[in-house]
A and B are shown apart, each in its own frame.
Chain A
């Protein structure tokens, strides 16, 4: 008995130390998978550039007619747009709105989906039937047309509003997936053991079931971000949302309307925002590979 006590680390320090070590080793797991790590870096870089970049590089919105649709050069690395403004600087400034809408909408839809899905699975009975029915209703509505209608009717201005609307439409499929997962996890032997040990419903939901879904939810979250980004860009492209500022969506809209695809010199005006969006999406999707390993110890190497 005495030998055991001698091996003890000091109590409260040990607790914090373990948590930090836990977090550190979890982050390190991101590096385990090469593809995942590459994706993570891409996402990180774009986030930094988009949010910190504008503070470093100012954007001069005055038009310079003499510089319309200049091809890429040392002065303008990606050329200029229809008003002579530098494309690259616009890219740097133009991500914030799109990304905020993307993450916000994904957060809204994921939160709704997880909450309703878990409740539905756990409470069962009529609540379950009702919630599933609501999900089915929302699911069957064609999303882009509805978005268009809502955008017109509600006069959405500001990213928060757009994010909210997107979030409120995109939750059903994840909700059903979460519900299915929760239903299946509920029947697992280790959940039954937790019941036998009388560990209480909060413990079972938050410590036994939810963590097993965490990986799945995280991945769906990143996919929701990509979906929301597409939706918001789509709204902008179709002109359903007031064009303010110079975000990537606006760039595409203006470039399209301004006929940028017809001239080889101006091609970057329309391609740059499209490519940056695509690269960001790719980074997110690639990052999923690491996320999966982070959340499931079984998939870790060694």
Chain B
């Protein structure tokens, strides 16, 4: 059974800023994408890139300060109370830290029963018991009785993450936002957690927004889905995972892929490494003009890259998007570069020669 249920979630030029005036930080800046029911979208990036903030906005836990979030084609802000409630429940979140994601003074049974009872999803103790056991089995914690009566500190990190997933499933969500769900779990246990989530996806048709800084994990989980790369609050590349990983377009994506160490000595020691122009990471308070990656970018061209900021869809090839003027030119999409940047580029070119 793999009927995907639910409605698509669309982000249109969504931004989230903090602070005021000169002290404004744009955690998320002009990000657009759509997640269709049943698909997997992975957001990758380093710390501070805005992927977690984006995840929270998808889950409705944070409101955007710019742009629109659409659920089933309707803007989330215009939904009435009941529809808003439905949206809230439709999107659930799984956190990174297994040690902070469960209330330490409540047993597993209490934690899972709360949403079931509150939303009257079960009638009577028998049904409750059955549903609890069903959920435990779904996430691979068997025998259920053993785990239900325990407290979080009596479970391992991996087991706690499974409980988090079970909790998310109590309200039968359409959509799960998983924020670094395996980063704090032992390496040897990550795969079973990931596979469990993939199985849930195929069995229940749940849509996944998977957030991680680990490209290799992203590749494994979202192989049949899409990968979006974020940098300093913007989406710099998005497309089908095999393509983004195998043939990256944006220089930042290329740098990430080249920098990643691989668990294979011959492979990793002979890998071509891209040298960045600078090791400094710009602060969100003082973003460089034009393309925010340009101070570090090995493909930097004066005039072209530091004048205007490339839009997310500067490069647009069969659903693949990349925000880079240099690559646009290389891929024959020069006409998508704004006039001003082209002019500046020419000026600098003339000066140089």
Contacts and interface: CB of A to CB of B under 8 A. Distances in A.
Nearest to A296: B105
B103 interface: yes
A296 B133 CA distance: 26
A199 B89 contact: no
B317 interface: no
Given A4-B130, A212-B105, A298-B151, A197 B61 contact: no
B100 interface: yes
A298 B153 CA distance: 6
A190 interface: yes
B164 interface: yes
Interface stretch (B118-126, B219-227, B232-240, B342-350): B118-126
Interface string B318-351: 0000000000000000000000000000000000
A34 interface: no
Interface string A39-61: 00000000000000000000000
A208 B85 CA distance: 20
A198 B102 contact: no
Interface residues of B, number: 36
A11 B170 contact: no
B91 interface: yes
Contacts of B153: 297-298
A108 B124 CA distance: 40
A203 B116 CA distance: 13
A5 interface: yes
A219 to B, nearest CB: 15
A297 B100 contact: no
Main secondary structure of the interface of A (DSSP, over half): helix
B95 A189 contact: yes
B101 interface: yes
Interface string B100-116: 11111110000100110
B115 A212 contact: no
A196 interface: yes
Nearest to A298: B153
B314 interface: no
B95 A203 contact: no
A297 B151 contact: yes
A196 B59 contact: yes
A200 interface: yes
A203 B114 contact: yes
A108 B5 CA distance: 54
A212 B118 contact: no
Given A11-B124, A193-B101, A197-B167, A203 B92 contact: no
Contacts of A295: 105
Contact of B91 (A189, A193, A196): A196
B133 A4 contact: yes
A57 to B, nearest CB: 44
A188 B100 contact: yes
Contacts of B91: 196
B93 interface: yes
A197 B101 contact: no
Nearest to B88: A198
A192 B124 contact: no
Contacts of B129: 4, 8
Contact of B92 (A15, A196, A208): A196
Given A192-B93, A211-B105, A203 B59 contact: no
6 contacts: A4-B130, A188-B100, A192-B95, A207-B114, A208-B103, A297-B105
The 7 A-B pairs at the shortest CB distance, nearest first, are namely A189-B95, A189-B101, A189-B100, A197-B115, A190-B103, A298-B153, A297-B151
Interface of A: 1, 4-5, 8, 11, 14-15, 188-190, 192-200, 203, 207-208, 211-212, 295-298
Interface of B: 59-61, 85, 88-89, 91-93, 95, 97, 100-106, 111, 114-115, 118-119, 124-126, 129-130, 133, 151, 153, 164, 167-168, 170-171
Given A196-B91, A196-B93, A211-B105, 19 more contacts: A4-B126, A5-B130, A14-B125, A189-B95, A189-B100, A192-B93, A192-B95, A193-B93, A195-B61, A197-B115, A197-B167, A197-B170, A198-B85, A198-B119, A198-B171, A199-B114, A200-B118, A296-B104, A297-B153
